[in-house]
C-alpha cells in the first residue's frame, strides 16, 4: 500500500487507512481542512500529511516506485521544469540569442564590465522586462533591485519605452487585446519594482538572509538584481579570508533562493586589474574564489565603437559574443546597419 510508505506516525497511518485513503492519488486533490475532518486529526497534522504525500507522489511518478534520495530530482524533471519557465528577455535580440532566449530563472547570472558600459542599464531593463505580462511572452513578475544609488528617472524612461513597444506589437498582431493593454501604465511597472538601499556589506548579508522571508510574502518576485555586489566588499577588508567566506556564503544563499523560488538572480560586478601572463589584464572583481560562485558569467566590453557581451562561463551556453546598444529606450539591438538616429 502506498500510504504505508509515507514517513508519518503509525497512528496517523492507521487513521488514513481506516478512512479509506490507501493510495497517494486519493490524497492528491484534498484540502487540509477536508482531510482533517474525514480522518479526525488536527488541521496542522492534515497539512503535514498532505505535504509528505505530494512529495512522495512526485518521486513515485518519475521512477515507478523505488525509493529515491530525499530532495533529489531526476534530470528529466528538471528539463521539464526549465521549459515551463520562460526566460527574461533583455530587449536585444542578439543578446537574447547567445543567452539561449534570455536570462534564465533558477540560476545566478553574473554580469560585469568597465564603468559606463551599461551594467546598470541592463539591470534596470531586466527589472522592467520581468514585468511584461504573460500574454506578451513575459513572466508578469515583480523585481527586487538592491543598489546604493538608484536613478528612478531612468527606470521610468525604460518602463515607458517598454510599454510603447508592447502597444506597438499589440497594434500589429492582436487588436482584440488592446483593451487590456491600455491598462498598463509606467507607474504600474515602477510599483512592482522593490528597491532596497544597502550601505555596507553587513546590510547586504542581512538582506540576503531576509530575502527568503520577503519573497515568501511577495510570491510574484521573479528577479533579484544586485547592483553592484562588489562595491561594499571592496573596501576596508583587512581579512581577505573572511571576505571570501562571506562572499561564498552569500552566493550559496542566493543560489538557494533562485532554486527554491524559481527566480533569476542577477549580480552586477565591477572590474579590476590582474597580473597574468606577463601583463595586466582586466578581470572581474572579487577574486578567483568568487568566480566559481555564479552559474553564468557575462562580460560586457567595448569592441571598437560597439558594446559587446561575451558569455564567459556557462554550463549550458556556448561562449559567444553579441553586440548590443544602450539607447534612450534602454537596451536594444545594436544599430550597426541602420542609419544613426539622434537620441534626445
Partner 1 sequence: MANMVISEMGLPKWIANIFAARNIITAKEALSLTEFELMEFLDVGLAEVTSAVAHISEIVCPPYQTALSLMEQRVQNEHLAGHLPTRLKGLDEALCGGIPFGVLTELVGPAGIGKTQFCLKLSLLASLPASYGGLDGRVIYIDVESKFSSRRMIEIGMKSFPEIFLKKGMAQEMGGRILVLHPTSLSEFTESLQQIKVSLLQHQVKLLVIDSMAALVSGEYEQGAPRQHALGWHVSFIKSLAEFSRIPIVVTNQVRSQSRDDACQYSFQVQRWDDTKEDRTRYDSHLVAALGVHWAHAVTIRLVLESKSGQRFIKVAKSPISPPLAFPFNITSSGMSLLSDGGFELTGPDINTIHCQGHNDIINFVGESLQ
- Ranges within 110-169 binding partner 1 (CB under 8 A): 114-116, 120-121, 124, 144-145, 148-157
Question: How many CB atoms sit inside 10 A of residue 146's CB?
Answer: 24
**Phi, psi torsion values for 323, nearest 5 degrees:** -85, 150
Subset of residues 45 to 104 that bind partner 1, contact rule: CB under 8 A: none
209 or 316, CB closer to partner 1?
Answer: 209
Least Å distance between CB 235 and partner 1?
A: 3
Subset of residues 242 to 281 that bind partner 1, contact rule: CB under 8 A: 242, 245-246, 249, 270-274, 276-277, 279-281
Taking Cα atoms as reference points, which of 298, 151, 147 lies closest to residue 224?
Answer: 147
Which triple of cell numbers denotes residue 329?
529606450
Subset of residues 193 to 222 that bind partner 1, contact rule: CB under 8 A: 193-203, 205-210, 212-214
Subset of residues 289 to 318 that bind partner 1, contact rule: CB under 8 A: 299, 301-302, 304-306, 310, 312
Least Å distance between CB 277 and partner 1?
A: 8
148 or 171, CB closer to partner 1?
Answer: 148
175 or 340, CB closer to partner 1?
Answer: 340
Least Å distance between CB 6 and partner 1?
A: 24
* Rounded CA separation 92/326 (Å): 10
Instruction: Give the DSSP H or E segment for 287.
Output: helix 287-291
**235 touches partner 1 by CB under 8 A:** yes
Subset of residues 319 to 338 that bind partner 1, contact rule: CB under 8 A: 319, 327-328
Least Å distance between CB 281 and partner 1?
A: 5
Write out the DSSP string of 331-342: EE---SSSPP--
Residue with cell 566559481: 292
User: What SS3 class is residue 239?
Assistant: coil
9 or 328, CB closer to partner 1?
Answer: 328
Q: How far is CA 98 from CA 77, 264, 273, 332, in A?
A: 25, 17, 27, 14
* Rounded CA separation 152/12 (Å): 55
Least Å distance between CB 275 and partner 1?
A: 9
Least Å distance between CB 110 and partner 1?
A: 14
Least Å distance between CB 324 and partner 1?
A: 13
Mask: binding to partner 1, 4-23, rule CB under 8 A, as x and -? --------------------
Residue with cell 513597444: 165
176 or 236, CB closer to partner 1?
Answer: 236
**183 touches partner 1 by CB under 8 A:** no
Least Å distance between CB 97 and partner 1?
A: 19
Q: Give the binding range for partner 1 (CB under 8 A) out of 81-89, 168-176, 223-231, 287-295.
A: 223-231
* Rounded CA separation 259/315 (Å): 16
* Rounded CA separation 328/99 (Å): 23
Which triple of cell numbers denotes residue 152?
528612478
DSSP state for residue 232 in the 8-state scheme: G
Amino acid at each position: 500500500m502506498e500510504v504505508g510508505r509515507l514517513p508519518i506516525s503509525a497512528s496517523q497511518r492507521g487513521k488514513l487507512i481506516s478512512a479509506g485513503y490507501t493510495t497517494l492519488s486519493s490524497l492528491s486533490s484534498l484540502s487540509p481542512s477536508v482531510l482533517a475532518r474525514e480522518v479526525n486529526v488536527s488541521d496542522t497534522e492534515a497539512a503535514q500529511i498532505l505535504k509528505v504525500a505530494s512529495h512522495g507522489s512526485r518521486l513515485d511518478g518519475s521512477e515507478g516506485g523505488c525509493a529515491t534520495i530525499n530532495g533529489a530530482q531526476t534530470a528529466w524533471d528538471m528539463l521539464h521544469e526549465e521549459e515551463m519557465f520562460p526566460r527574461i528577455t533583455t530587449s536585444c535580440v542578439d543578446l537574447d540569442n547567445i543567452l539561449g532566449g534570455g536570462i534564465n530563472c533558477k540560476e545566478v547570472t553574473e554580469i560585469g564590465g568597465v564603468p559606463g558600459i551599461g551594467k546598470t542599464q541592463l539591470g534596470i531593463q531586466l527589472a522592467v522586462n520581468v514585468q511584461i505580462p504573460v500574454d506578451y511572452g513575459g513572466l508578469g513578475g515583480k523585481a527586487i533591485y538592491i543598489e546604493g544609488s538608484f536613478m528612478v528617472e531612468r527606470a521610468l524612461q525604460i518602463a515607458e519605452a517598454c510599454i510603447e513597444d508592447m502597444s506597438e506589437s499589440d497594434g500589429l498582431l492582436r487588436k482584440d487585446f488592446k483593451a487590456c493593454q491600455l491598462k498598463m501604465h509606467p507607474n504600474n511597472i515602477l510599483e512592482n519594482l522593490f528597491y532596497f538601499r544597502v550601505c555596507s556589506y553587513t546590510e547586504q548579508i542581512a538582506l540576503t538572509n531576509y530575502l527568503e522571508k520577503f519573497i515568501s510574502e511577495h510570491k510574484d518576485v521573479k528577479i533579484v538584481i544586485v547592483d553592484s555586489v562588489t562595491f561594499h566588499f571592496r573596501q576596508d577588508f583587512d581579512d581577505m579570508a573572511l571576505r571570501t567566506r562571506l562572499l561564498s556564503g552569500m552566493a550559496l544563499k542566493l543560489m538557494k533562493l533562485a532554486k527554491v523560488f524559481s527566480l533569476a538572480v542577477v549580480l552586477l560586478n565591477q572590474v579590476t586589474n590582474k597580473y597574468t601572463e606577463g601583463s595586466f589584464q582586466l578581470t572581474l572583481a572579487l577574486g578567483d574564489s568568487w568566480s566559481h560562485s555564479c552559474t553564468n558569467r557575462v562580460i560586457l566590453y567595448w569592441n571598437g565603437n560597439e558594446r559587446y557581451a561575451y558569455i564567459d562561463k556557462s554550463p549550458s551556453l556556448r561562449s559567444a559574443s553579441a553586440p548590443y546598444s544602450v539607447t534612450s529606450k534602454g537596451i536594444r539591438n545594436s544599430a550597426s546597419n541602420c542609419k544613426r538616429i539622434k537620441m534626445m
